[in-house]
Amino acid sequence: MLPIVEAPRTALHPPRINAPLAARWLETFLRDELLGRRGIARAVIGLSGGVDSAVTAYLCARALGAHNVFAFRLPYRTSSPASLADAALVVEALGIHERTLDITAAVDGYLQNEPDADARRRGNVMARTRMIVLFDQSAKLDALPIGTGNKTERLFGYFTWHADDAPPVNPLGDLFKTQVWELARYLGVPPALIEKAPSADLEARQTDEADLGITYARADAILAQLLLGYSDDQLVAHGFAAADVQLVRRRVEGTHWKRHLPTTAMLTNTAINEFYLRPVDY
């Protein structure tokens, strides 16, 4: 049987995936984590109109049944109408539950007291407000919020701490962005979501790749080898541009703190997550 992750064609290409096998594995993972470990049959997803949340919705529908998936569109007043329309394509294709809740009043209720907040701060408030909604709706629906962040974003720290990364289960967290696109094509996600430029949709005309300063394809190819322990000099020898290698390594090394639970001051040998780990915590 072919492995889930296949060898790249060349060093300059990101690793491919065996999409059918990956889909089956992730469906099994979701059923095991929700039904098996937690006894929860329903999933709540923030449906942004992007490919990551779309793939997550498709996987949840396959794993749990469309009737057990609740998608929430959570626009702010500056959100792109196209994002709402793209999210609607996923709802229509899958037949999952959908509700649109405008977060403008909640966000502005706080930001009206912070007139000097820049775009980064405003975006973080929007992201955290959306997560408040998803966790509250999960309590209402007896459901579990499902994360949508991919491996590239997580390694780059390209997410809002205690927002995008907050859901307790994440099926895409070990897939690079380019691999999410592969899986999306296999699952039948509408082409409009796969082909458009990825964007957090926090500002007009904002795109992920412009923010990051590198394309996902180049970033993923470098990340795949960086994680295997190759030095910067070795990566350059493999054909990568030195500036790209430095950018990727700087982003990964500068965001370790975002991939960990809060640091606990240890006073005993039973400090949670420092010393005290039950077998299932490993």
- Separation of alpha carbons 126 and 107, rounded Å: 6
How much is the pLDDT for 9?
A: 67
How much is the pLDDT for 218?
A: 95
Does residue 208 carry a pLDDT above 80?
A: yes
Which has the closest alpha carbon to 265: 255, 254, 273, 257? 273
Percent of the chain's residues with pLDDT above 90: 81
Does residue 265 carry a pLDDT above 90?
A: no
How much is the pLDDT for 282?
A: 42
Antiparallel, parallel or unpaired: β 97-100 and 143-145: unpaired
How much is the pLDDT for 276?
A: 55
Q: Domain spanning 5-281 has what CATH number?
A: 3.40.50.620
Tell me the average pLDDT across 87-99. Answer: 98
Structure token digits, residue 22: 């990956």
| Whether 43 contacts 143, CB under 8 Å | yes
How much is the pLDDT for 94?
A: 98
Q: Kindly report, residue by residue over 51-74, the tens digit of the pLDDT.
A: 999 999 999 999 999 999 999 999
Does residue 243 carry a pLDDT above 80?
A: yes
Structure token digits, residue 116: 């000097």
Structure token digits, residue 191: 């082409």
What is the pLDDT of the chain when averaged over all its residues? 92
Does residue 6 carry a pLDDT above 90?
A: no
Tell me the average pLDDT across 232-247. Answer: 96
**Would you give the distance in Å from CA 177 to the centre of its chain?**
9
- Give the residue extent of every domain in the chain: 5-281
Does residue 222 carry a pLDDT above 90?
A: yes
Percent of the chain's residues with pLDDT above 70: 94
How much is the pLDDT for 13?
A: 85
The CA-atom distances, in angstroms, between 94 and each of 53, 211, 274 are 13, 32, 42
The CA-atom distances, in angstroms, between 199 and each of 135, 159, 183, 204 are 23, 12, 19, 10
Tell me the average pLDDT across 28-46. Answer: 97
How much is the pLDDT for 266?
A: 80
| Whether 42 contacts 64, CB under 8 Å | yes
Tell me the average pLDDT across 199-217. Answer: 85
How much is the pLDDT for 274?
A: 67
Q: Where are the beta strands (DSSP E) in the chain?
A: 5-6, 16-17, 42-46, 69-73, 97-100, 143-145
Does residue 279 carry a pLDDT above 60?
A: no
* Residue 3 or residue 114, greater confidence: 114
How much is the pLDDT for 2?
A: 59
